[in-house]
Structure formats: structure tokens, C-alpha cells
Structure 1
């Protein structure tokens, strides 16, 4: 059985619950068994405190409290992406942090493609939520912009999230 005190849920039997599974490895004694517990649908880069206790047909044993933290993952897409004219033939690209950073954001890639042009990109530090891009044809008119957040895991691999996308100028919305 397991329990997550942070979520204040009742004890859950892992042998009959879709959110977890438990495996007991052979050997041990009647009062001590080894194995592992697999919990599903946990949020990335989140600390959990898990209470675990073993049960048999006669009774349940005492609980063991275990701290656990899920690993870094790819972040969700940045929010509120906007583009505006800035200086001569340039644009200002601004965005908000992802709702689910899934770690400490290391940075953002800001890419753009203008009509008849190639896709170009630049990298922005994780604390910065804006960048200006100069030298765009027609001041960035009809260019498409993408912003993607990325994290780095403990092995040094970059985990690229989903991209937010916008075409400039922003399409006009007509109310019905």
C-alpha cells in the first residue's frame, strides 16, 4: 500500500490501482520482503513524500516514509507569445514562462522564418523573456516566430519543449 501525504489521499492498494504497481522480489523472510514500487502520472521535477507499508492477509505492517523527487523533463510551451515592431526593420519578441517548466529553465530558442527565407534561430538565457531581432525584411511582416523553452537533465542532455508559434503581424480578430 502507498499513501501520498501531500495529496492527502487514503491508502492505495497498488495491486488493484492504475496509478501504481508493486513487485515483490523473491526471498527474504515472512516479515521482510524486498521489491519496488512504480508510481505513475507524477509531475516532472516535483518533490513527493511517500508513505509505504506492506500488507498480507493477516495485517499491515508499519509505514516507511520516503522522500522522492521526479527528474527534469521537457517544459511545456511558453505562453503569451507576442511580436511587435521595434526599431528599424526589427521586431521585439516577448513571452511568458511555461506553465509547466518541468525543471529550471536553462534558456529559450527563438526562431523565425520570413517569406522566401530560411529558418534562423538564436538562444536566449533562461531568465530573459524577450529578445529583439533586427534586419528582418519589411520589419518582420509575414514572418513566423517560434519560441521553445529547454531544460538540461543530470546527464547534460538538452530537453526541448513544445514551441509557441505566431505569425506577424498578428491576425486581426473580428467579433461576430
Structure 2
């Protein structure tokens, strides 16, 4: 078995598979949690990051809905507890939040920054999960090297987040329609 680095054709094929898999969420009867776990797994597989997590916003506030590792889940929970961090900022601003070198920017998040460094995380990139003006969450990518993502990887990460968002909003719309139909039946 070879340990050779994947070729660009291998990556392109895996990327196409990821988008086809997410497109399947546009039909009834799929699990949003499965979609999000697939998103974090694909992000780690396709991008040069150590781990990934997702914070989602709903009527109850922010929730950790997926992570590729227990470490990512804990870092996401810590952001909720401290009300700071890249994913927190991303969800609230609707804009990407990146820190290529946390050792030089740990002051950016006074509580969360030092915690990430303690965990061996030295770079972070958060991408909004949004459609038009509605931000429903953020995809957070954690790295162990103080480097930024190449522009093509930034585009891939945002495209993955955007595609997953369409599936999430579709599921919410179907749920709302089901609730309204049930209420209408109950009234008659």
C-alpha cells in the first residue's frame, strides 16, 4: 500500500463525491446530523486541517452539532461557554474569520486563544453557513501548523458550508410546512 500524497485528480474526485452526497440532502427523509458529520469528515479529508467542528444557531442559541474529533467538540463548547472564538464571531458576523497564526494573535480571543494554543491548535478558519442574509451556523477548521489555507481551499471550504446550508434550510422549510399542515388539519 502506497503512502503517496493524493493527486489533484484524486482530490477532485473526492470533492465531487462530497458535493453529490450533499445534493442528496435536497430530498425528503435525510438526517441533518448525518449531513453535518459528513461535512466535518469531508473537510478534514479534503483540506489541510487537523480537526473540524460546526456550531449551529437556532431558537435556543448556539449548539455544537458535529465535530470530527472530541477535541473539536470541546473547543466548540468552550466558545459557547466563553462567548468568544472564531466560530462564535463567524456566526454572529456572517463573515469568514481566519487566524493563520494564533501564536501571534492569541490576544484576539483573550480566553479562547490561549486555550487553543494549549490544545496544540495554531491556526483556525471559520466559514459562515449562510444563504443570502440568513446565517445558520459556522464550519470551523482547526490546524496544528501556523499557516493559512490556500485560496483554493478557502473556496472549497466555503462551498462545502454553503451547500450544506441549502440542505439545512430545506429541512427546516419541510419541517415548517409539516407543522403548518398538521395545524391546518387540527383546525378542521
Higher relative contact order (CA 8 A, sep 6+): 2
**Structure with greater proportional helix content:** 2
More strand by share: 1
What TM-score do the two structures reach when normalised by structure 1? 0.27
Query: Greater Rg, structure 1 or structure 2?
Result: 1
Provide the TM-score with structure 2 as the length reference.
0.26
